Amino acid sequence: MALPPGANDGARPRRIGVVAAMHPELAAVLGRMPDEQRQRVAGRDFRVGHWHGHEVVAVLSGVGKVAAATTATLLIERFGVGALLFTGTAGGLGEGVKVGDLVLASSFVQHDMDASPLFPRFEVPLYGRARFDTDGPLSARVAQAARQVLADASATLGVDAVAEFALHAPTLHAGLILSGDRFVATSAESAALRQALPEALAVEMEGAAVAQVCHDWALPFAALRTVSDRADDSAHVDFMRFIDQVASRYSAAVLEAYFSSL
């Protein structure tokens, strides 16, 4: 079997794609790539640079599954990445998943995919599956980096941010994440998702699309999300400040630990 673009036969890919949906989610990450060179393709600025000597292509996917799928395909086809890492925020669904926690995806489901009665609800037509798994070894390395960061969250975020957002004992969770082209922000919607997919830990708008693209290309993919709210009526009122003070800093710190360990 031929290797995916950008891959090699060693322990790590030659080039790694780092993706987030919105600029504030990736801002701190871009600050760690001083030698970045921008290439604009299909309305997206792809930042090509290095991180601890590893080739990195960082880009904003835009919001939603179509934008994310386009971005992932460009990273693979145009920029030849050998692995993909997605970062950013998500709404918490699972019991015990609280604001400030990190959720590492083991698999993704499109919660708004419904081609019934031709296919079972959630199943992607012609794939014979609803779930698209992330890569185990890559996810394990990201998890190790995340635990390292969470062991001293105050050092990463600062004591003021920890106090402002009441981030007490942040935890790493791993499991199913849902994606859909709808921002989930009511208790009724959250309850419906938990009833339909009780294993789900979090919900966002891009990951399942990227997981499907990476499945098509047999490309390693991992996704780590910071929980910004509980995806209900009590969703955080200052979302952008949370991204700036918490989520973006988590992303940069986890990726710093990840790349320094390779």
Whether residue 114 lies inside any domain: the answer is yes
pTM above 0.85? Answer: yes
Structure tokens at 68: 């994310």
Split into its structural domains, the chain has a count of 1
Whether residue 71 lies inside any domain: the answer is no
List 133, 229, 232, 238, catalytic entry: 229
pLDDT tens readout for residues 16-55: 999 999 998 888 888 888 888 999 999 999 999 999 999 9
25 is annotated as an active-site residue: yes
Whether residue 100 lies inside any domain: the answer is yes
User: Is the Cβ–Cβ distance between 17 and 81 less than 8 Å?
Assistant: yes
Whether residue 41 lies inside any domain: the answer is no
At 137 the three-state DSSP class reads helix
User: Is the Cβ–Cβ distance between 173 and 199 less than 8 Å?
Assistant: no
At 31 the three-state DSSP class reads coil
pLDDT tens readout for residues 75-122: 999 999 999 999 999 999 999 999 999 999 999 999 999 999 999 999
pLDDT above 90 (res 126): yes
Render 18-32 in DSSP notation, one character per residue.
EEESSHHHHHHHHTT
Cis peptide before 120 (omega within 30 of 0): no
Q: What is the pLDDT of residue 164?
A: 85
Whether residue 179 lies inside any domain: the answer is yes
Short-list 249, 243, 258, 255, CA closest to 21: 243
List 25, 123, 204, 256, catalytic entry: 25
pLDDT tens readout for residues 128-169: 999 999 999 999 999 999 999 999 988 889 898 888 888 888
How wide is the angle at C-alpha 73 spanned by C-alphas 69 and 79, nearest 5°? 140
CB-count exposure of residue 53 (10 Å: 0-12, 13-18, 19+): exposed
Whether residue 38 lies inside any domain: the answer is no
229 is annotated as an active-site residue: yes
Q: What is the pLDDT of residue 234?
A: 66
Inter-CA distances, 14 with 11, 102, 132, Å: 10, 27, 24
User: Is the Cβ–Cβ distance between 93 and 203 less than 8 Å?
Assistant: yes
CATH number at residue 99: 3.40.50.1580
β-bridge mates for residue 178, sequence order = 109, 203
Whether residue 57 lies inside any domain: the answer is no
Owning domain of residue 107: 88-261
Whether residue 161 lies inside any domain: the answer is yes
- The CA distance from 119 to 110, in Å, is 14
